[in-house]
């Protein structure tokens, strides 16, 4: 199974790599990174000063505060990139094969439906990671330039969390891709899902139960944001602070993210395996 | 297999090639149920189903290499892939991205994908659509060569009766998912459709293999040059007046009959 899936995933990745969509998304993320680098190198002190009362005159900001604000700024942009990347790659991966009839090329080969699905997940996931890593690499390089040292270990933690988010988003986007027959509707459907439907659902939950809506769906999606924004998620409530997020809170958020991944994976598998027009 | 649009040709091919599930009945390859033993069965099948657009940003070589890997469980060496490219006349386009190929060339590549690894059963769904004259001629040569090469089953659907009539041994007419006609093609013979002034003329031509189609319209099967000469001699001797004459392959003749055209 692994050999077939790997062969197909490498092939799909090759197709992505040479596609216009991949080039555009890499350029877009690079330009975003460049903009953030310029902001960070030339305006970091000005941004930090916004957090300090005007009555206090500070000549030299402590490195820790500068680092916190730096991470805060980059993470607040980075959190939206996985959604954008998977909208390009994962949300069209199955639907475009159905639309272009390419899926029949694979269904008449000695491969299982699971192998095909796994290769699609793998290729979309890797393509999304590569594009998001362009931005994260620029964040890393800019950090080196500004602080003349390597980022703290939390940076590695942040990258890991981003990869987890990309994986969840990939699976969620592929659910759309397996439901929608027209390839073009996949990205639109997925972005609408994240921008509108998740908010509507959380608002509904909030109004029905009186709970803080942010906990249910948005918390899990904003995992990286929370890790680097140092926002402590107490039960149902956010509390902002400049101190680092606790290990337990981070673990809780990772659990929620994994739960989403498993749920989406189950839906994706059930939907795709039941498609009548392909074996 | 020949039939009008929506007659169920592609669906039947999808069932035979194990592409879809959830239908009544069963499809067997060498006595093995394709649904129950999919991998084992489809290893023997090479199929071109519908009209796949293929993947725009890879080249023909990559596409064929993947098909080879999946069908044979190992990487194909360069000669094996080149051989497949040669078969469909795309060797010169080996490194060109698929989006830069013409629709006819894409069709040739799709046929090449079905032939990779020399499967025992080849299934081709409307293979000559979008092909230019050169492509069609290449296709005819290829099918004849494949048939001569060995004991192989080739199933083709098409609307192009003139091509089908030349390359196929057996013809099935489908309509609304039902078989209307199923017969062995006589490739040597052809029909002459004569429009005469009287139906009684068919009696005069009774020494030939004839069929009365309508008032004064007679189909005569001609299987060799002598029969043709005999026919014209008889027409001349009996003083039969011919209003029009039309030549048809057996495939065209049977199709028109089956679909009341």
Task: Give yes or no for residue A83 having a pLDDT over 60.
Answer: yes
| B190-258 CATH pick, 3.40.30.10, 3.40.50.10890, 3.40.630.30, 3.30.70.100 | 3.30.70.100
Chain A residues touching chain B at CB-CB below 8 Å: 3-4, 7-8, 11-12, 14-19, 100-102, 104-112, 276-279
Which residues in chain A have their CB less than 8 angstroms from residue B49's CB? 101, 104-105, 108
Cα pseudo-dihedral A70, A76, A77, A82, rounded to 10: 130
Query: Cβ–Cβ of B53/A112 closer than 8 Å?
Result: no
The residue among B158 and A242 whose pLDDT is bigger is B158
CA dist., res. A147 & res. A270, Å (int): 49
Look at residue A227 in the predicted model and tell me its pLDDT: 53
Task: Give yes or no for residue A76 having a pLDDT over 80.
Answer: no
Which residues in chain A have their CB less than 8 angstroms from residue B56's CB? 15, 19
ipTM of the complex: 0.83
Residue A278 included in any domain: no
Look at residue A237 in the predicted model and tell me its pLDDT: 42
**Domain spans, chain B:** 9-184, 190-258
- H-helix or E-strand containing A208? helix A198-209
Task: Give yes or no for residue A65 having a pLDDT over 90.
Answer: no
Average per-residue pLDDT for chain A = 79
Q: Are B129 and B51 in contact (CB under 8 A)?
A: yes
Which residues in chain A have their CB less than 8 angstroms from residue B96's CB? none
Of B50, B87, B44, B70, the closest CA to residue A11 belongs to B70
- Kindly report, residue by residue over A112-162, the tens digit of the pLDDT: 889 999 999 999 999 999 999 999 999 999 999 999 998 887 788 788 888
- Kindly report, residue by residue over A10-46, the tens digit of the pLDDT: 999 999 999 988 999 999 999 999 999 999 998 887 7
Q: Which CATH superfamily is domain B9-184 in?
A: P-loop containing nucleotide triphosphate hydrolases (3.40.50.300)
DSSP label at residue B103: H
Residue A137 included in any domain: yes
Look at residue A217 in the predicted model and tell me its pLDDT: 41
Look at residue A230 in the predicted model and tell me its pLDDT: 47
- Kindly report, residue by residue over B150-205, the tens digit of the pLDDT: 788 999 998 888 888 888 889 999 988 889 899 998 877 889 998 887 766 667 77
Average pLDDT over residues B18-41: 86
Chain B residues touching chain A at CB-CB below 8 Å: 14, 17-22, 38-40, 42-43, 45-47, 49-58, 62, 66-67, 69-71, 73, 97, 110, 113, 123
Look at residue A99 in the predicted model and tell me its pLDDT: 87
Domain with A205, as residue range(s), is 2-273
- Kindly report, residue by residue over B123-156, the tens digit of the pLDDT: 999 998 878 888 888 888 888 888 888 788 999 9
Task: Give yes or no for residue A241 having a pLDDT over 60.
Answer: no
- How many domains are contained in chain A? 1
Which residues in chain B have their CB less than 8 angstroms from residue A93's CB? none
Q: Are B10 and B183 in contact (CB under 8 A)?
A: no
Task: Give yes or no for residue A235 having a pLDDT over 90.
Answer: no
Task: Give yes or no for residue A197 having a pLDDT over 70.
Answer: no
Question: What pLDDT band is residue A185 in, cutting at 50, 70 and 90?
Answer: confident
CB atoms within 10 A of CB A20: 9
Q: Are A108 and B17 in contact (CB under 8 A)?
A: yes
Look at residue A279 in the predicted model and tell me its pLDDT: 58
């Amino acid at each position: 199974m692994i050999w077939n899936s790997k062969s197909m995933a490498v092939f799909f990745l090759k197709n992505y790599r040479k596609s216009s969509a991949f080039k555009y998304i890499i350029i877009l993320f690079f330009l975003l990174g460049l903009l953030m680098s310029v902001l960070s190198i030339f305006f970091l002190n000005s941004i930090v000063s916004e957090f300090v009362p005007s009555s206090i005159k500070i000549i030299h900001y402590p490195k820790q505060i500068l680092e916190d604000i730096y991470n805060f700024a980059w993470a607040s942009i980075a959190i939206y990139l996985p959604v954008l990347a998977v909208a390009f790659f994962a949300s069209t991966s199955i639907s475009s094969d159905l639309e272009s009839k390419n899926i029949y090329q694979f269904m008449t080969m000695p491969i299982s439906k699971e192998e095909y699905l796994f290769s699609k997940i793998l290729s979309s996931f890797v393509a999304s990671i590569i594009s998001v890593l362009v931005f994260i690499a620029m964040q890393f390089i800019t950090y080196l330039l500004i602080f003349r040292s390597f980022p703290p270990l939390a940076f590695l933690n942040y990258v890991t969390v981003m990869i987890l988010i990309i994986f969840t988003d990939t699976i969620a986007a592929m659910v759309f891709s397996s439901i929608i027959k027209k390839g073009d509707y996949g990205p639109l459907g997925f972005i609408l899902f994240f921008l509108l439907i998740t908010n509507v659902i959380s608002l509904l939950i909030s109004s029905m139960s009186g709970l803080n809506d942010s906990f249910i769906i948005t918390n899990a999606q904003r995992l990286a944001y929370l890790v680097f924004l140092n926002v402590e998620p107490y039960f149902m409530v956010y509390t902002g602070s400049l101190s680092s997020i606790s290990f337990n809170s981070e673990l809780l958020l990772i659990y929620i993210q994994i739960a989403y991944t498993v749920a989406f994976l189950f839906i994706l598998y059930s939907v795709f395996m039941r498609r009548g027009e392909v074996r | 297999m020949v039939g009008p649009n929506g007659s169920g040709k592609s669906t039947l091919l999808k069932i035979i090639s194990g592409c879809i599930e959830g239908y009544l009945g069963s499809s067997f390859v060498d006595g093995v149920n394709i649904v129950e033993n999919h991998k084992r069965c489809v290893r023997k099948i090479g199929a071109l189903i519908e009209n796949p657009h293929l993947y725009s940003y890879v080249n023909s070589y990559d596409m064929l290499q993947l098909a080879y890997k999946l069908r044979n469980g190992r990487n194909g060496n360069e000669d094996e892939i080149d051989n497949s490219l040669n078969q469909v006349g795309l060797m010169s386009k080996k490194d060109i991205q698929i989006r830069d190929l013409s629709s006819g060339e894409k069709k040739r590549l799709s046929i090449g994908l079905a032939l990779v690894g020399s499967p025992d059963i080849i299934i081709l769904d409307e293979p000559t659509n979008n092909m230019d004259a050169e492509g069609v001629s290449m296709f005819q040569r290829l099918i004849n060569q494949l048939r001569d090469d060995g004991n192989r089953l080739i199933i083709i659907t098409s609307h192009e009766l003139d091509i089908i009539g030349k390359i196929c041994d057996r013809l099935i007419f489908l309509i609304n998912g039902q078989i209307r006609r199923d017969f062995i093609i006589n490739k040597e013979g052809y029909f002459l459709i004569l429009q005469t002034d009287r139906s009684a003329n068919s009696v005069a031509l009774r020494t030939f293999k004839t069929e009365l189609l309508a008032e004064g319209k007679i189909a005569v099967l001609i299987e060799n040059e002598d029969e043709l000469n005999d026919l014209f001699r008889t027409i001349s001797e009996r003083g039969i007046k011919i209003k029009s004459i039309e030549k048809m392959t057996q495939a065209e003749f049977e199709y028109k009959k089956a679909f009341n055209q």
